[in-house]
């Protein structure tokens, strides 16, 4: 079983490296970043500056800092990850996205109730629990956002709204026609917004979500990500 474990661990790394080289090849045809993008990168470097690096250090750092001597903060804990696609905040900075006509987007719970029906499926003969476990392990190794504050609740324990939409709360309101939650009188599903660069005094526009793990596949669930 050792070779299976090695394949499972190395395969994602090989895929990531392959994708990195593909993007690098394609980037030759992509125009240079805009002055705003360059300014945002400069601000980010200042906001997350880890301090001087020891270029002769024998081991890599546990928090990911200085693993890249040219860009010491890249991949470091408690920094912002780079977006694959531009943010689409309604105010250009941090307010949730709206539809093209300026209206609120459809209720998430209604969409889930209408589009995804609960059903009993036969056992899958191709995939098994290891796929789920490995996916969770990789996910928890590279990305983990944190809420804006400790102990914050936007909904009460019995499912009532405590705080409507705010800078901290964005609860999912449950319609009375909900196929499941209406049976229990639940009107609110708790959702606290994640910490962003705005919360740590870093003036980036639009805001970026802060990740409290290293951004590398480096077994953070095993070894941790803090000094």
Could you give the C-alpha distances from 25 to 18, 21, 30, 187, 204, in angstroms and in order?
11, 6, 10, 50, 29
Catalytic residue among 20, 140, 144, 215: 140
Could you give the C-alpha distances from 24 to 42, 104, 164, 166, 185, in angstroms and in order?
22, 38, 44, 40, 52
| Measured distance CA(15)–CA(48) in Å, rounded | 28
Sorted by sequence, the CB contacts under 8 Å of residue 10 that are 6+ apart come out as none
Q: What is the CA radius of gyration of the chain?
A: 21
| Measured distance CA(196)–CA(202) in Å, rounded | 9
Angle at 196 between CA 161 and CA 80, to 5 degrees: 145
Sorted by sequence, the CB contacts under 8 Å of residue 11 that are 6+ apart come out as none
- From 50, 44, 82, 42, select the one nearest 69 (Cα to Cα): 50
Q: Are 217 and 202 in contact (CB under 8 A)?
A: no
Question: Is 20 assigned a catalytic role?
Answer: no
| Measured distance CA(227)–CA(225) in Å, rounded | 7
The residues annotated with a catalytic role in the active site are 140
């Amino acid at each position: 079983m050792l070779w299976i474990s090695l394949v499972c661990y190395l395969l994602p790394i090989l895929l990531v490296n392959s994708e990195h080289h593909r993007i690098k090849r394609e980037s030759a045809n992509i125009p240079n970043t805009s002055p705003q993008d360059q300014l945002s990168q400069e601000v980010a470097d200042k906001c997350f500056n880890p301090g001087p690096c020891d270029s002769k250090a024998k081991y890599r750092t546990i928090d990911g800092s200085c693993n890249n001597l040219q860009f010491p903060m890249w991949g470091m804990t408690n920094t912002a990850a780079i977006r694959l696609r531009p943010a689409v905040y309604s105010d250009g900075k941090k307010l949730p996205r709206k539809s093209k006509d300026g209206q609120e987007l459809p209720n998430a719970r209604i969409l889930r109730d209408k589009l995804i029906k609960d059903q009993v499926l036969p056992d899958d003969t191709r995939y098994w629990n290891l796929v789920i476990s490995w996916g969770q392990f990789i996910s928890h190794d590279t990305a983990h956002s944190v809420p804006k504050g400790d102990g914050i609740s936007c909904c009460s324990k019995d499912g009532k709204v405590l705080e409507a939409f705010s800078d901290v709360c964005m609860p999912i309101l449950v319609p009375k026609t909900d196929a499941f939650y209406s049976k229990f009188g639940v009107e609110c599903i708790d959702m606290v917004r994640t910490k962003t660069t705005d919360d740590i005094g870093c003036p980036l526009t639009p805001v970026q979500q802060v990740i409290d793990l290293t951004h590398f596949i480096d077994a953070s669930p095993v070894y941790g990500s803090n000094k």
